[in-house]
Structure 1
Amino acid sequence: MSADFERLIGRAVLDPAFRKRLLADPDAAAKEAGLQPAPEEMDRLRKALADPAQRKQLEQIDQQTASLSGWS
C-alpha cells in the first residue's frame, strides 16, 4: 500500500467532510488532498465504491461513526 493511499484513507477516517467527498468522487478527493495513490489502488477503491453491497457497508460505517462522535 502506498503512503499516499494510506494518507487518503487516514484523512477519510478522521475528517467526515472529506470522507463524504471521497465517497462521492475518490479521484477529486485525492487531487484535493494533493495525494497520488497508485493507479491500481484508486481502481480498487473505485470498484469498491461502485459495488452496491460494499458501498452500503461504507455508508453504514460512516453513519455509525458520525453518531458515535457527534459529527452528524
Structure 2
Amino acid sequence: MAALAHDRFAALLSDAPASMTVRQVATALSISEHVVRRLLTTSELEGVKVGREWRVLRTDLLSYLEQRSNRSVDAR
C-alpha cells in the first residue's frame, strides 16, 4: 500500500522542480497559497525560508503527502 501511494505521489510531482515556491506547491496540490503557508509555519510541511519566501523541496512534499495518506488510511 505504501509503495502504491509513493508511486502515485511521485508521478504527481514528476514535473515539479526540485525546489518549489509556495505558489507551485499550492498549484500541485490544488489548495490555496494561504493553506501552504500555514502548513509551513506550523511545521506540518517542511520548508526553508529564503529571505521572505518559502521553498519546499520536492522530496519533503512527497514525504508530507505520504504521511497524510498513511494518516487517512489509519483513521478508517
TM-score, normalised by the number of residues in structure 2: 0.33
**Which of structures 1 and 2 has the larger relative contact order (alpha carbons within 8 angstroms, sep 6+)?**
2
In terms of fraction of residues, the more strand-rich structure is 2
In terms of fraction of residues, the more helix-rich structure is 1
